[in-house]
Amino acid sequence: MRGQLRILPVVLLVLLVGALVWRLAHPPDTDVQSEMIGNQVPVFAQTDALPGKPGLSSANLADGRPKLVNFFASWCVPCIGEAPVLTELKKEGVPIVGIAVRDRPSDLRQFLVDNGDPFERIGADPQSRLQLAFGSAGVPETFVVDGRGILRMQHIGPIEPDDIPDLLNAVRAAR
C-alpha cells in the first residue's frame, strides 16, 4: 500500500501535464475577431506616412468603394512575406490602403522600395491608437471595409496566397 501511495503524486502530475497539453493542442476557440466588425470605422484623420503619398481618414473609407485596410510596419517580418500577396490583390482590382504602425518615414520608404507599394494611401499611426481603435492587436492585420465605411471582415496575421479567394469574395460581398 505504501508503494502505491509513493507513485500517486507522479500519476497526478502526468495526468495534469496531459490535460494541459491536450488543452493547448485543442483550444476551445481560435477565432478572435474585433468587436468592431459590423460597425462604422472609428472617426480619424491620419497624417501621411510618407511625403508625396496621401494620408488616410475615415472619410476615405466611406467613398462608395469597398477596400482592404492593412495595418503593417517596415520592422514587421511577416509584413515582408505578405507584400507580394497584397500586390497580387491590387492586380485583381482590390483597392488597398495602409496604416503604418510605429514606423519612421525613411524605414517605410525603404520597405516599399524593397517589397512593392500596393497602397493607394498610407496613414501614419505612430502610437498604435488607430490600430487599437479598429480592434487590432498586431501587424500585419487586414480589414475589409465596405463602401459606407463599415468593417466587414478581419484577417489576423499575414495574408497568404491561399487567402486571396476569401478576401476577393469578401470585397465583392462588401459592395
Within the chain, strands assigned E span 45-46, 56-57, 67-72, 96-101, 122-125, 141-145, 151-156
20: confidence class by pLDDT, cuts 50, 70, 90: low
Range 12-39 average pLDDT: 71
Angstrom distance (rounded) from CA 141 to CA 8: 48
Sign, Cα dihedral of 139, 141, 147, 148: negative
Give the burial string for 92-129 (b: 16+ CB within 10 Å, else e).
eebbbbbbbbebeeeebbebbeebebbbbbbbbbeebe
104: confidence class by pLDDT, cuts 50, 70, 90: very high
Rg from Cα positions in the chain: 21
When mean pLDDT is compared across 5-14, 17-26, 75-84, 102-111, the lowest value belongs to 17-26
Output the nine-digit C-alpha cell for 39: 460597425
To the nearest whole number, what is the mean pLDDT of the chain? 90
Angstrom distance (rounded) from CA 136 to CA 156: 8
The per-residue pLDDT for range 35-61, each reduced to its tens digit, is 788 899 999 999 889 988 999 999 999
Write the CA distances from 13 to 7, 16, 17, 84, integer angstroms: 10, 5, 6, 48
Output the nine-digit C-alpha cell for 9: 503524486
Residue 72 sits at φ, ψ, to 5 deg, of: -150, 175
User: What is the reported pLDDT for 18?
Assistant: 76
Q: What's the start-to-end Cα distance of the chain, in Å?
A: 73
The pLDDT of residue 140 is above 90? yes
The per-residue pLDDT for range 47-98, each reduced to its tens digit, is 889 988 999 999 999 999 999 999 999 999 999 999 999 999 999 999 999 9
Output the nine-digit C-alpha cell for 12: 497526478
25: confidence class by pLDDT, cuts 50, 70, 90: low
Flag whether the pTM goes above 0.85: no
Q: Is 3.40.30.10 the CATH classification of the domain at 45-173? A: yes
